[in-house]
Amino acid sequence: MNYTENVIVPERTLLVSLDTGEYDAEESLRELWELAKSGGAEPIATMMQKRPSPETATCVGSGMVEEIRNFCENNEIELIIFDRELTPTQIRNLENATDVRVVDRTMLILDIFAQRAQSRAGKVQVEAAQLKYLLPRLTGKGTALSRLGGGIGTRGPGETKLETDRRHIRRRIEALREQLKKIEVGRHETQRRREKDGTVTVALVGYTNAGKSTLMNLLTQAGVLAEDKLFATLDPTARALKLPGGKTVMLIDTVGLVRRLPHHLVEAFRSTLEQAATADIILNVCDASSPEARTHLDVTNEILQSLGCGDRPVIPVLNKWDLVGDADSALHLTGAVRISALKNEGIPALLQAIEDNLPVKPVDVTALLPFAKTGIAAQLRKAGALVSEEYVAEGLLIHARVEPREMALVKPYIVENNSESENV
């Protein structure tokens, strides 16, 4: 970005794609356009070349390089972004040929993550991913990485600047790895406390920009940043959500996903994504108005499978249904819930779907508590299980929706119950 009188001026950017038939290059290029805008760039145009494989020296062919150079000169392009991972040699050769700065898809996503990270865990994970990506790309950087070094007294006799940079980066990566271990211990302790307390967790997962943060704000008033851009939020947020039946669950918003997410980030954010793996229920949110809705759901499901979530109930949530033009030709899935988080539509059905998939369904009971045992009502109220209470001559008459833990408290005093409670 350029800065003019303290105003950030987005860089005029050209997006370049190489179609080798490995994936849908056109759709990936459209996604890169949105990523570039999310990163603060100003995409001006796109170029694509079909080749059986990347050119070793410049990724694209020499004719394409010349075309890129001419376009950049005639359109005042300040940045070129390639929709694939480039080698250091390819970047250097392309920059020399075009006289324009070149970055690849991975560098762009890493930069966006660095902008979005707010929590200590998020910042540590991003820095670790950036350094792991940078380490094999130090060749030819010269003194540009001197800021990574420790200065006087850190170099051994005859040690080159490149070796020093590599040593400092490895040392920093190791330090970050230790920090991540401590953060992970804290997460496990939080998870153990939730399990001990019987807290049911519901994870919001899905493609980035599917509306997860908007849905989180609607359901829990969490105050999470919600913008129409990719990776608007990065750090996970957890808030209490009360269901219609009175049960309170923990709703967790996780980092958004994209196709071909760099493995550096998948590894760095694995502990964050694994919050979905430990959730009791998973809401797979997608933008139903997108022509790629099915692909987005599949990308998310593949990552969930890799995290070991195969035995968890997954509810497909088709968000932005208000933007779907032709409902008959739109995506239809068994068990899916259609909603519009922005317009607050379809939310009762979503909450009911969550309730229907609770690991232990609460049971309706009516009990008469002696006056000496009215403290049980306070425990039920705290657990969100108490539906109603009324003082009568014999004691406190309560109606509650209880799980096995609460059932043990009220069972001696049940005066009326449904058939399900007898089986609990």
Written in H, E and C, the secondary structure of the chain is CEEECCEEECCEEEEEEEECCCCCHHHHHHHHHHHHHHCCCEEEEEEEEECCCCECCCECCHHHHHHHHHHHHHHCCCEEEECCCCCHHHHHHHHHHHCCEEEEHHHHHHHHHHHHCCCHHHHHHHHHHHHHHHHHHCCCCCCCCHHHCCCCCCCCCCCCHHHHHHHHHHHHHHHHHHHHHHHHHHHHHHHHHHHHCCCCEEEEEEECCCCHHHHHHHHHCCCCCCCCCCCCCCCCEEEEEECCCCCEEEEEECCCECCCCCHHHHHHCHHHHHHHHCCCEEEEEEECCCCCHHHHHHHHHHHHHHCCCCCCCEEEEEECHHHCCCHHHCCCCCCCEECECCCCECHHHHHHHHHHCCCCCCEEEEEEECHHHCHHHHHHHHCCCEEEEEEECCEEEEEEEECHHHHHHHHHHEEEECHHHHHC
In the prediction, which pLDDT does 416 show?
Answer: 63
Terminal-residue alpha carbon distance, the chain? 62
pLDDT number for residue 265 = 65
Give the model's pLDDT for residue 194: 60
pLDDT at 424: 42
Tell me the pLDDT of the chain (424 aa) as tens digits: 554 444 567 889 999 999 999 888 888 898 899 888 888 889 999 999 999 999 999 999 999 999 999 999 999 999 999 999 898 899 999 999 999 999 999 888 888 877 766 667 778 878 888 888 888 777 544 444 444 444 333 344 444 667 778 888 889 988 988 887 887 777 667 667 666 666 788 988 887 778 888 888 888 876 554 555 555 444 567 788 888 877 888 888 876 666 677 666 666 566 556 666 678 898 989 888 888 888 888 878 877 777 766 677 889 999 999 888 776 666 778 889 999 998 999 999 999 999 988 877 778 889 999 988 888 888 888 877 888 899 998 999 989 888 777 788 888 898 865 444 444 4
> Alpha-carbon distance 228 to 37, whole Å?
10
- Note the pLDDT of residue 343: 92
Enter the pTM of the model.
0.63
